[in-house]
Amino acid sequence: MAHEGLFQELKVVVGEEYVVHAPEDLVVFEYDGSVDKALPLAVVLPATTEQVSGVVKIARSHGVPIVPRGAGTGLSGGAIAAKGGIVVALTRMTRILEIDPVNRLAVVEPGVVNLELSMATAKYGLFFAPDPSSQKACTIGGNVAENSGGPHCLAYGVTTNHVLGMEVVLADGSVAWVGGRTRETPGYDLRGILIGSEGTLAITTKAVVRLVKLPEAVKTLLAIYPRLNDASAAVSDIIASGIVPAAIEMMDDLAIQAAEAAVHAGYPADAGAVLLVEVDGLKESVEVESALVEEVCRRHNPMEIRTAEDAAQRERLWAGRKGALGALGRLAPNYYLIDGTIPRTKLVEVMARIKEISAEAGLPIANVLHAGDGNLHPCILFDERKPGDTERTLEIGGRILKLCVDVGGVLTGEHGIGVEKQEYMPFMFTEDDMASMARLKLAFATDDAFNPGKVFPKGASCVDISQMKAVARAGAGAFV
């Protein structure tokens, strides 16, 4: 075999059973939660930082690219091997190394599942705030790579607001720490650069994360509307009133139908949209703010407003929202999930336009939103077995992302660029912008070996051209 020598070297580092290269076994790793697929040359599952370092050194010596991978729940193709190479799956690195309740931090390995960290810290009255809808499966390393968000990031912030420091393996196999155990560290913010870099600059092997105190009180209400426009207007009005709830989530009629059939959360089947609003904090402030939220919601002609009376009812209401994406399989064999973000004041306009695009294209679009921060998740329902369906779906996705940018929004709120949105980068960035960003790859001396073929568009705007411009401006030895 052409790569047998490479495989043997990798087995020496991580053990024979943790190097996967049989074609039938690699199929499991050819995709993530997106619609893109690519087969890697091999998959390696290291258990320690030292093993990750060793794998990187071997791959570099053979000129083989490396793709870091967490649980594979990403939705932009970030974890697929777009240009082949070795997938470094970090799911064996699952230790919570330290919980420091006094300083409210934890030190974890990248394979720790998001929800399991909060479960482990609950006995100290603490939790990890970023909560992607996939938090039962997604890992901290993946959250860091994509700068993940989640429903409660409206009030608490996204992953970058909750990571203090990271141990990383660089492209030459060396190990370094960026950031630390405090909120502020001197020098350049390399921690901020690496969070959200989608595995293109370094591999995270440990993270120091900030923990937040569990709120004294929580109140969750469900506002049910006959029309999507009414729910959209209510969201803008809530924020305009000066209230910032922990979460404001929205689902449209199609998403409600799918979720209710699967989860039985009690959402009315005839609703045009529902808002799930959660307020937390001190008991007195929660009572006041939840009453104000309900008052605002009532201005927009709801069919009904329900308030969860206990933890079980609250969990049931959230089960509908968090189970919505998986439930879409009841409506179509495939869905393509978009991740644009818009100003909240544009919600009514943009949601109406998405409905028009759906009607024009002849493909249904179910909408679930982190509505409070304008993060849209239109889900285009299609059947990849039908000729032309996939191509039409991708074209619709591009139209929706262009719409988001045109109204003052951005291409992604939490899923990253990956391969899904790389061709749309020129909607937001000029060639000069991308050339400036490409300098980071030169600074980290990756030689485009870490997660190549991601983020930057192909063709005339490809990363190679951007890097050549960066070298021309900064000088070939500027980053040596």
pLDDT at 2: 78
pLDDT at 467: 45
Give the three-class secondary structure for 368: strand
Which CATH topology does 217-406 take?
Vanillyl-alcohol Oxidase; Chain A, domain 3 (3.40.462)
State how far the Cα of 51 lies from the Cα of 48, in Å rounded to an integer.
5
- DSSP for 411-452, please give it: S-SSS--TTTSGGGGGGT--HHHHHHHHHHHHHTT-TT-BST
The tokens describing 360, both together, are 């024009």
pLDDT at 350: 97
pLDDT at 463: 43
pLDDT at 227: 96
**Are the C-beta atoms of 358 and 331 separated by less than 8 Å?**
no
Q: Where are the beta strands (DSSP E) in 133-190?
A: 163-169, 175-179
CATH architecture of 96-213: 2-Layer Sandwich (3.30)
Q: Which residues of the chain have pLDDT under 50?
A: 459-463, 465-480
The distance from CA 332 to its chain's CA centroid, rounded to whole angstroms, is 23
pLDDT at 105: 98
- The letter for the amino acid at 198 is E
pLDDT at 35: 86
Q: What is the pLDDT of residues 12-35, one digit of tens each?
A: 999 999 999 999 999 999 999 888
**Are the C-beta atoms of 37 and 84 separated by less than 8 Å?**
no
pLDDT at 396: 97
pLDDT at 1: 58
pLDDT at 390: 93
Q: Strand order in 19-20's β-sheet?
A: 19-20, 42-44, 86-89, 66-69
Domain coordinates in residue numbering, the chain: 4-89, 96-213, 217-406, 429-474
Q: What is the pLDDT of residues 172-186, one digit of tens each?
A: 999 999 999 998 888
pTM for this entry: 0.92
> Phi and psi of 403, rounded to 5°?
-60, -45
CATH code, 4-89: 3.30.43.10
- DSSP for 30-65, please give it: SB-SSS-B---SEEE---SHHHHHHHHHHHHHTT--
